[in-house]
Amino acid sequence: MKRREYIQTMGMGTGLILCSSGALLKNNKQPNLLFIFPDQMRREAMGFWQNDAFKKGLRTQSDPVVTPVLDKLAEESVVFTQAVSTCPICSPYRAMLMSGMYPAQNGVANNCRHDRDEHLKHDIDCFTDVLASSGYDTCYVGKTHWERNDPLFDEKGHYMGTTQPPGGHHMNPYDTYIPPGRGRHGNDYWFQCVKDDHKDPRVYSSEPDRIEGKTDGQQYRPEIYSPKLEADVLVDYLKNSAGQRNASKPFSVIWAPNPPHNPYASEDDCDEVAYREFYKDQNVSDLLIRPNVAEADKATKERAELSVPFYFANVTGVDKQIGRVFQALEESGEADNTIVVFTADHGEMMGSHNRFGKTVIYEEAFCIPFMIKYPGKTAGTLEDLMLAPVDVMPTVLGLLGLGSQIPKAVEGKNFSHEILTRDWSKTEKPKSALFMDNADTVKGVRTNRYTFQIDHQGKQMLFDNEKDPYQMKELKLSDLPKADADFIVSELGMWLATANDPWFQEKTQAAVIKYPA
C-alpha cells in the first residue's frame, strides 16, 4: 500500500470517528474520558504540523512521519504548541500527571527502579481516585512506572507479595507490577504491560479472560506487539462485549503505550509493517532532518541513522492502533460523549545535540504533544499555553465538570474554561515553564522566547528560541537586555518556590536565581 492510499484508508476510518459534531451530555450523562499518552513521543513527531492550518505552531520543521489518525484528531481538537514535560523522564512525569503535584510532594523525583525508594505516595488522592469516587468506571491499560520496585516476585515473575522464598526477586529493573490496592489509585479494570520489550511485554491483569485464565499477579507473556495487544483490550472494553463496564456509568480510560520508547534498533522493536511500508527504503537524510543532529559525533550520528526509521515506525504503529480504538469508540455509541486527550510523557532527542533519550531541556525532549478533543466545542485551533504535567489533572477534571472535586493538595491549575472559550481576559497565562532534571543537579525555565538552565555548580546554558529555534548557538545572560535576563532568573526562582523544590529550600545558586522573599 502506498503512503497516499494508507492515509486515505485510515482517513476514512477516522472520519467516521471524529466528524461527529454533537455536544456532550446530550443524554444527561457525565462525559467519558479517553486519555492516551505513548512514551517518549516528541512534539514534532506528528504529520499534521505540515498542514497549512498548523504550520505556524512550530518554529522548526516537523518530523516526516505518517500519522493519519492523529492528523484527523488535530482537526477536531485544541492543539497545544508549548506543552512541556517539566521533568522529561518517565516516572516523574507520570507521578505529576496522576497527582497534580510536584516531585517534592508526590514522592517521585527520579525513575522508579529496583535500587531506589521512589514511588507515588499511596495516600495521595490522584486523578483516577477522583474519577472513581465521582462514579466513573475506571480502566488503565499499558505502562505505569510509578510504584516502588520491591523484590516481591518469584523467579518467573509471578507476584508473591513477600521477599521470603519463593519471593525475593524483581520482575524488572525499572517498572514493576502494581497489585490491587492503593497503588492502583482507583483504577478498577487493570491491564498492565511492563518492560521495554515491545513484542514481548510482561502482562498482569485483573481480567483472567485477557491473560489465558491467569490470576491478577501471575505474569502473562503473549509475545504480541504491545500497542496492538492493548488496542485489542480497549476495543473490547469500549464495545462492552463481555460486560466489562457498567453501561449506565461514565467511563475513564487511560492508555499508556510503551512505544515509541526505545529500543528502536531493528524490525523486532517496531511495527514492521509500518517500517517496511513507509521508512525502510527512505533515504536517512530525508528522515533525520533536524540540523542540530549535525553537532553529533560519528557514533551518535550512525546510531541516529540506524534508529530513526524504527522510531518513526513505532509512531506510525501507535497511530494505527489508536485508529482502531477510535473506531470502537464510535461503534460503542459513546464518541459524542467522550473527551479525548492525546499527549506523551516526554520527547526523544534522536541524535540532536549529540544525545538520545530525554532528561534535558532541549526542545526535542522537553516539549510534548498535547491535544484535547471535546465534541462540539473544539475544532482544529492552536493554543500556546505552556501547559505543565501538574496542570493536566485539574484541567481535565474541569473539562469533565468535576472542578469542585479537585483535591486541595493539587498544585497545578485548572485551565479548562479558558481553553474551551479561548477567553483569557480574567486569567493570565503562565509566562514560563519550569524544568528540572532527574538528579536534582540542573534546573531551568523556558519562556515564550528563551530557554535557560543552570546546574548545581553554576554552569549555565541559554538559547534564544526565536532567532535560534534549533538551539545551536549558546548565549549568556549578559548578552540579553537586562530586563529579559532579570525576568528569566526571577521566573526560575518563582517556579522553584512554587514547586517547593529542594533548590528553593536550600536557596541553591542564589547569586544567580532570584528567589521570592
Written as tens digits, the pLDDT of the chain (517 aa) is 444 445 444 544 444 333 333 344 445 679 999 999 999 999 999 999 999 999 999 999 999 999 999 999 999 999 999 999 999 999 999 999 999 999 999 999 999 999 999 999 999 999 999 999 999 999 999 999 999 999 999 999 999 999 999 999 999 999 999 999 999 999 999 999 999 999 999 999 999 999 999 999 999 999 999 999 999 999 999 999 999 999 999 999 999 999 999 999 999 999 999 999 999 999 999 999 999 998 889 999 999 999 999 999 999 999 999 999 999 999 999 999 999 999 999 999 999 999 999 999 999 999 999 999 999 999 999 999 999 999 999 999 999 999 999 999 999 999 999 999 999 999 999 999 999 999 999 999 999 999 999 999 999 999 999 999 999 999 999 999 999 999 999 999 999 999 999 999 999 999 999 999 8
Q: What ranges do the domains of the chain cover?
A: 3-421, 432-506
**Which helix (DSSP H) or strand (DSSP E) does residue 330 occupy?**
helix 298-331
- 475 vs 99, 350, 460, 480, CA distance in Å? 36, 24, 9, 8
What is the rounded distance in angstroms from the CA atom of residue 266 to the CA atom of residue 207?
32
Sign of CA dihedral 140, 142, 144, 148: positive
Residue 286: Cβ within 10 Å count: 9
Starting at the edge strand that comes first in sequence, how are the strands of the sheet with 370-373 ordered?
202-205, 189-194, 137-142, 251-256, 32-36, 338-343, 370-373, 78-80, 381-383
Q: What is the CATH number of domain 432-506?
A: 3.30.1120.10
Helix or strand or coil: residue 399? helix
Cell of 435: 524544568
What is the rounded distance in angstroms from the CA atom of residue 52 to the CA atom of residue 378?
18
pTM of whole model > 0.85?
Answer: yes
Rg of the chain in Å (alpha carbons) = 22
Peptide bond into 250 cis (omega under 30): no
Determine the pLDDT at residue 27.
53
What is the rounded distance in angstroms from the CA atom of residue 124 to the CA atom of residue 409?
9
Question: Which amino acid makes up residue 317?
Answer: G
Q: Hunting for cell 473539562 — which residue is that?
A: 399
- 328 vs 105, 198, 312, 315, 500, CA distance in Å? 38, 23, 25, 20, 43
What is the rounded distance in angstroms from the CA atom of residue 514 to the CA atom of residue 506?
13
CA 185 from chain centre, in angstroms, equals: 18
Secondary structure tally for the chain: helices H, strands E: 14, 13
In sequence order, what are the residues at sequence separation of 6 or more whose Cβ sits closer than 8 angstroms to the Cβ of residue 15? Answer: 72
What is the rounded distance in angstroms from the CA atom of residue 361 to the CA atom of residue 435?
7
In sequence order, what are the residues at sequence separation of 6 or more whose Cβ sits closer than 8 angstroms to the Cβ of residue 262? Answer: 40, 196, 269, 307, 356, 357
Q: How deeply is 118 buried, as exposed, middle or buried, from its count of CB atoms within 10 A (0-12, 13-18, 19+)?
A: buried
Are 211 and 230 in contact by the 8 Å Cβ rule? The answer is no
Q: What length is written for the chain? A: 517
Residue 507: Cβ within 10 Å count: 12
> Fold for domain 3-421?
Alkaline Phosphatase, subunit A (3.40.720)
Residue 231: Cβ within 10 Å count: 23
Are 348 and 284 in contact by the 8 Å Cβ rule? The answer is no
What is the rounded distance in angstroms from the CA atom of residue 35 to the CA atom of residue 452?
31
